[in-house]
Amino acid sequence: MVLLLIAAAALAQHQGHDGMPMPGAAPKPPVAAPAPPASPPPAGAGDVEMNMAAPPDGLVDVTGGRMPAALGPYPMSREASGTAWQPDASEHQAVHVMSGRWTLMGHALLTLVYDRQDGRRGGEKAFVSGMAMGMARRPLGPGTLQLRAMLSPEPLMGRRGYPLLLASGETADGVTPLIDRQHPHDLFMELSASYSVPLSGTASAFVYAGLPGEPAFGPPAFMHRLSIMDSPEAPISHHWLDSTHIAFGVVTGGVVIGNAKLEASRFNGREPDQHRWNIETGLLDSTALRVSWNPTSTLSLQASWGRFVSPEQLAPGENQTRWSASAIYTRSLGDGWWSTTLAWGRRASEHRDLDAYILESAVRQGPWTLFVRAERTENDELTGVHQGPVLPVGKASLGAVRDFRLAPHLAIGPGGLVAQNFVPRALQASYGGDARGFMAFVRLKLD
């Protein structure tokens, strides 16, 4: 309901921007036309986003005329999932409205998918995926308060999720692991609050807390990365890089100095269980550290480390140490953009290191978006035995979506993708060779 109210208010405000007064509203006095900007805005910057408040007293406007971020003196387009960064040049896909001192934002991606995975371990399923997100932000005392909520329809697909060859992680019944299937995300993907205070014109300190929330580990979650967010298919490297984006209990503190950020988290390291509609609780027993650096407006780098206490429900006595490093490059491209992510992740437990690599890229021109992803993981769960043989597997996918505008901030887009899986000789018989996967989908986007 909150998201619908935000969307309705945004559409009404957009009508006002076009010169049509609100019913019953007094006519506005004429104002002088603003001077043209010195340089064009980044991809995705629109009239609503440019209607920003002035920076707090004592702060230098380092946003280039764009909406300021919640956690530091930089453009809002830099902020991605949790407290993760992306390039400043990223498209900020959201509807913004002002209500008094509050800035409200709404964004949604809801996708109806038909999925077919070939081979002996494949299957097919129709399901709904995606997320809806709302944000409220305002000045408070010397700093900025931000509240954020994100919900997902994925529990509707059932506890077993959807077929996805070579994927593994979590469980559907609390007894057996999910293999060759992607688990659904919980209804509550994020319920968080943050508060930041300026330290100087180019520095700030912040605290972030969520139940659930996202600790300071890895790149932005895959459904928030511009390089692949148009794909409805989860990466098979999810549990190496970004499965922590739903942690049921997290507190993060950080410092921003110029274009660098250092942050640390204490969080509940246990993966969400098979009950997808509830909010879980647990000790903040795990630790993550992340350093981020945006050397230019088009590049975002991060390296992170985490010590996870008993992350797997089916292996409660085993801890993990994880590492991650990633680079995201994004730039404007005519009337669209191009974004690419390269990332590496490692899971270490019981003297066994498992690595994962991912390269993904997307380009948008006009209403069309083309996306591609290539992955390689070292997996010891695909034989159905806990800590079985380590087997290198790979996957490559290619897809496209074409958006049709229904309203200024609402679009519908049909699309599809094809994926090729690569399995080692030891798995050829059980998979029936290098099986393929297919998805056809229709997406509704509020932006």
Give me the pLDDT at residue 386, please. 82
Would you state the pLDDT for residue 285?
97
User: In 3D, which of 244, 249, 194 has the Cα closest to residue 216?
Assistant: 244
Spatial distance between the Cα atoms of 437 and 334, rounded to a whole number of angstroms = 33
The SS3 assignment for 81 reads: coil
Residue 340 domain-assigned?
yes
pLDDT band at 85 (very low <50, low <70, confident <90, very high): very high
Band (pLDDT 50/70/90 cuts) for residue 23 is very low
Which of 1-10, 23-32, 87-96, 428-437: highest mean pLDDT? Answer: 428-437
> Tokens in use for 79?
């902020």
Q: Please compute the mean of the pLDDT values over residues 112-132 and round it to a whole number.
A: 97
Please tell me the distance from the alpha carbon of residue 223 to that of residue 235, in angstroms, as a whole number: 10
Asked if residue 258 is part of any domain, the answer here is yes
- Say which residue the tokens 């437990």 belong to: 349
Give the closest residue to 434 by CA, choosing from 199, 120, 186, 125. Answer: 120
Each residue's pLDDT tens digit, 217-238: 999 999 999 999 999 999 999 9
Give residue-wise pLDDT tens across range 289-299. Answer: 999 999 999 99
What is the percent of the chain where pLDDT is above 70?
Answer: 85
Averaged confidence pLDDT in the chain: 88
Residue 397 forms part of a structural domain: no
* pTM confidence score: 0.85
Flag whether 417 is in a domain.
Answer: no
Q: What pLDDT is stored for residue 49 in this prediction?
A: 36
Domain membership flag for residue 69: yes
Q: Would strands 143-151 and 203-210 be described as parallel, antiparallel, or unpaired?
A: unpaired
Question: With contact defined as beta carbons under 8 Å apart, do 206 and 196 qualify?
Answer: yes
Closest residue by Cα to residue 234 from 392, 422, 242: 242
Alpha carbons 248 and 186: distance in angstroms, whole number: 10
Strand positions, DSSP E, 183-271:
188-200, 203-210, 250-257, 260-267
| CA pair distance 145, 209, nearest whole angstrom | 12
Cα distance between residue 384 and residue 180, in whole Å: 10
Structural domain of 329: 2-20+43-106+131-358
Smallest CA-to-CA distance from 190 within 125, 250, 233 is with: 250
Backbone angles phi, psi at 15, to 5 degrees: -60, -40
Residue 422 domain flag = no
pLDDT band for 63, please (50, 70, 90 cuts). Answer: low
Q: What is the DSSP letter of 79?
A: B
Instruction: Examine the pLDDT at 64 and tell me if it is beyond 70.
Output: no
Peptide bond connecting 212 to the previous residue in cis, omega within 30 degrees of 0? yes
Pairwise CA distance, residues 315 & 176, whole Å: 11
What is the rounded CA–CA span in Å between residue 306 and residue 264? 10
Residues in the chain: 447
Taking only the tens place, the pLDDT of each residue in 178-214 is 999 999 999 999 999 999 999 999 999 999 999 999 9
380 in any annotated domain:
no
Run of H or E including 187: none
Q: Could you report the per-residue pLDDT of 323-356, keeping only the tens digit for each?
A: 999 999 999 998 899 999 999 999 999 879 999 9
C-alpha span between 6 and 106 (Å, rounded): 6
Residue 112 CB-density burial (10 A; 0-12 exposed, 13-18 middle, 19+ buried): middle
Q: Is residue 426 part of a domain?
A: no
Total number of domains constituting the chain? 1
